[in-house]
Structure 1
């Protein structure tokens, strides 16, 4: 068995860390510990990741993808070079790159990883992350929450510290707050709250909007109407890149002079764009976002049954925590409790490495630290309720509330709802909405043999047991007979139900089969990746490309999609 590592799979950047002589250490990717979470296809349709992919965003936006983390656990697809990919496939390429970097540095094989996710990620998003790790050739030892990982990174070097800790984690695309109690070398999670689509990229967009507005008012240039196609994409790409630089610069200086020479043309005149933006203006632009994060801080405190005065340590992590407006808002709430000794870019990866070290006994004894976690999302079942319009189904009854400390068990009793009912199906759901259809279904359990009586005369006891190892056990007992049925769900290894996207290509270009843009990309991928496949996989790929060609020639779109999807999956499996 090879090495285990900790990985922070981030929206904008990712990092990998390991335990070196009992201490967590981030592995540098050459000159930097940060790998941009960017994936692309180069001009020869080879997959590129990190800085190389980021460098081509401006000139090859149709072959480059960023922020794929925001799509994890959804049916949204990513289009690269006209070819469809799942978010899991794209994320697996980032993880493959981190694995490569780690193995090159350590000079040994990496086989396992602890991977972090936002605390607010649901089961489908966590499962997608686990699958990405497996596609990258890793045994995913554990999935842990990013704020918890950051607290681990802090706690491992402060084992004598006791008190309540609030982790404020804002990265490129997600935001989390977790409240924990540190005592005697343990971390007791009290509550977590978050916003899955809020981060530094949203701050960038506010500057982008400011630049586009200035282009229109000062240069009479309307980006959305005066140019089209690749020209628009190239201009927008330059603006976005400059916006990110501006945001970073405003963390250390008060005013930034934005200059974009030769940005566009208007009536034959070249536009050399220039404008100033101050930190105070930037603070105004992002004030709503910052306020949302502070509201979430208050929600987490309320859920933990604490006040700001009860918090002893505040840990701001994630690259976007460097924004001065965030620091000032946190200071207004918590005073001088903010600790800056944990590197905001590396804290999560370091904490993941700590958890990996604990799991593999690389950190033991007095140098170790323990986590006592909570249920991040409520768990419950579907019920029928008596409403003003009669009995209605589709309601959600929570048996285990989010923020409940693990392990935990609860039993609810439910009556039959129809005459002579002899069986009941108990749906198992995760979520916070009162309507069951708006939550995530994890599974179901059927119990038969209920005595045939009038509605309400028979009842069943439904029990949800959730232990510290992530195992959810659901059991149903018919009260009058004692007949029982049960099932278990591993909330870590659970294969969340997946629905295949119905998105299809409506149009293919006429003529030779390689002219269809999606198929052409698949062919190029086949050519560039075939030599890296094992011998048996090469034979499978050869057979699939032959079948794909036949399907295109015969205009059989169903088979075309089938063989195209299977070939792509095979090429990205290794």
Structure 2
């Protein structure tokens, strides 16, 4: 049997999984880690670095490194790396190719097909770009799974074995590094049914990093946007570390050492809330949308499921507990939950015995419609919905339209996706035309039928009612739209990029680590770091003695780790912050919410959130 892998292609980190031994299993990368940073660096010689090495180069070589490109999937944005321009799907293809190689090494067989998760609120252009990335990486991607759907699958598969639990309705809040997805999910028997979805594709944990970084700059008289890319990345890196520390302690100090610049900022969860309040307000918009759209089902929510690494933040959990007064708030391992669910779906596609009867239904996240004549303003057509958002897939709906002008010879059917009143504010997907007999306005009509399936293929059928003449347009938003010659050229370009062999990654990781430290330090420490980089490069490139390389790699890594700790602190950096009595109270004891399995969160605290002001 050909193996199918599941891929969580994340904004900040990506993971790969497979159904094995009756459960969904995560696959480690060449460094023995499950999380592979979704970062790509390409130098002038065409050497490509993906993952943790590229993350280090984000500081030392920012002009050759790209991150957060998932946010721009399906757009015209490009990144200049290694002497050429790359689209987001091409960079994503490099990440996918690395995950594919990791899976092939782990399973000992060639991988040709993958199931990939995407934010539920990805439009068809972003979904198409994701499948394009898979094609460029040498993967057949027939099925795209919404991330909250994958989280529901992981939550529903008790112990990873696909055994159904009791009937329940879940509100899945999936908050990752770059995107927010919210879904209402009804689970009964062996069915996981998505009822409604909403989200924000430009809101994630990286926005909190940015807010902390900007506050740090403000307190030190700096303008973040005016800083060099290298210094921006240094500050963002420290901001992310300080934010993560607040998941373990109520107070920390963010310290930045970059060349001659040294600075520190006290940070608490209360302060994080104050400087990030607009982000908290944005979180509730998709939550309200999902609950409003799902009201017609009259479902009682039994559990709120938190997924995504950013849900580790205590401030996020308390904010949600206040506004979502449901009985239980549950979290599995936030970083791994989506990947585990995609692995379950890979097992479903492989028809594995344990999960072959598990059914995941999905919905159309956006309205699909066509433009109709606007008598009030002929320049702007009006959106006529045919398939409403949150319609269960596959879906087939039709609508009849009449001619808008006297003696009209043909009718053009524009296909759009979106919720706006005017079609020019929605996303254009395609069009087709049919000839109609000339007659007075409104005397000729056509029937337009949309058929939309779970793989993102939209079939538009048009019939002229008086003559029976028919036309059809298949909008394959999930297949690569370049002609074969263009696709071959893209593949050849990507093949010219030289990925590191797995056995060389540890060496290059150490060099990238040293280069990042060299960029941040000055004086004698910088000189010593430079000497060690030079010595290690000599061992790798000249002596090539594997035993000596392994031995020195350990010694140099220990030194770099001490240098990193030096950058993290000053002599007085860890002074205790003064206690203050404000609205925010930390969780008091209870089970570890990030341990294995699913744990209930603490009871709702007595918190007040009102118009951006916090009171106790």
Pairwise TM-score range, normalised by the shorter structure:
0.7 to 0.9
Check whether the contact 1:290–1:325 (CA below 8 A) recurs between aligned residues: no
Deviations 1:235-287 (A, max 9, x none): 222111100100100111111112223x35xxxxx443122111110121222
CA distance in 2: counterparts of 1:179 and 1:359, whole angstroms: 24
Distance (whole Å) between structure 2 residues aligned to residue 82 and residue 243 of structure 1: 31
Q: 1:377 — aligned with what?
A: 366
Q: Which residue of 2 aligns with 1:197?
A: 202
> 2:443, 2:409 → 1: CA distance?
12
Q: Unaligned stretches of 5+ in structure 1?
A: 265-269, 501-523, 533-574
> Which residue of structure 2 aligns with residue 99 of structure 1?
100
Q: CA deviation at 1:117?
A: 0.6
CA contact (8 A) 1:45 1:525 kept: no
Q: In the superposition, relative to structure 1, how do residues 2 and 405 fare at CA in structure 2: closer, same or farther (>3 Å)?
A: closer
Q: Paired residue for 1:561?
A: none
Matches within 5 A, 1:145-156: 145-156=146-157
Greater Cα offset, 23-32 or 122-131 = 23-32
**Do the aligned residues in 1 keep the contact of 2:73 with 2:88 (CA within 8 Å)?**
yes
Secondary structure, aligned partner of 1:110: coil
Q: Which secondary structure does the structure 1 equivalent of 2:295 belong to?
A: coil
Moved more, 202-211 or 43-52: 43-52
Cα distance change, pair 485–235 in 1 and its aligned pair in 2 (3 A): closer
Alignment of structure 1 residues 215-294 onto 2, 5 Å = 215-216=220-221, 232-261=228-257, 263=258, 270-294=260-284
Q: CA deviation at 1:58?
A: 1.2
CA distance in 2, matches of 1:526, 1:186: 42
**Which deviates more, 351-360 or 415-424?**
415-424
Secondary structure at the residue paired with 1:31? coil
Check conservation: 1:442, 1:496, Cα contact below 8 A.
Answer: no
CA distance in 2, matches of 1:369, 1:457: 50
Superposition deviation, residue 87 in structure 1 = 1.1
Partners of 1:485 and 1:81 in 2: CA distance: 46
Q: Deviations over 1:321-341 (max 9, x none)?
A: 11111111222223441112x
Normalising to structure 2: TM-score of the pair? Answer: 0.74
Question: Where does residue 489 of structure 1 map in the other structure?
Answer: 475
Asked whether the 8 Å contact 1:177–1:193 carries over to 2, the reply is: yes
Whole-Å separation in 2 of the counterparts to 1:223 and 1:473: 48
Does 1:213 pair with 2:209? no
* Preserved CA contact (<8 Å) 2:124 2:456: no
Q: Output the aligned Cα RMSD.
A: 2.6
Verify: 1:26 aligned to 2:26, yes or no.
yes
Aligned to 1:305: 295
Q: Does the 8 Å CA contact 2:49/2:499 hold for their aligned counterparts?
A: no
CA drift at 1:135: 0.8
Does the 8 Å CA contact 2:47/2:499 hold for their aligned counterparts? no
Q: Distance in 1 between matches of 2:499 and 2:211?
A: 43
| Equivalent residues of 1:301, 1:307 under 8 A apart | no
Paired with 2:121 and 2:223, the residues of 1 have a C-alpha distance of: 38
- Aligned-partner SS, 1:310: coil
Q: Distance in 2 between matches of 1:286 and 1:5?
A: 37
Partner residue, 1:117: 118
Structure-1 residue corresponding to 2:178: 173
Match of 1:506 in 2: none
Give aligned pairs, total: 487
Q: Tell me how far apart the structure 1 counterparts of residues 303 and 171 of structure 2 sit (CA, whole Å).
A: 6
Distance 1:531 1:256 in 2: 37
Are residues 1:405 and 2:405 paired? no
With the length of structure 1 as denominator, give the TM-score of the two structures: 0.80
Distance 1:479 1:527 in 2: 55
Which residue does 1:144 correspond to in 2? 145
Equivalent in the alignment of 2:317: 327
CA shift, 1:147, in A, is: 0.6
Tell me whether 251-260 or 146-155 shows the greater mean CA deviation: 251-260
1:456 aligns with 2:442: yes
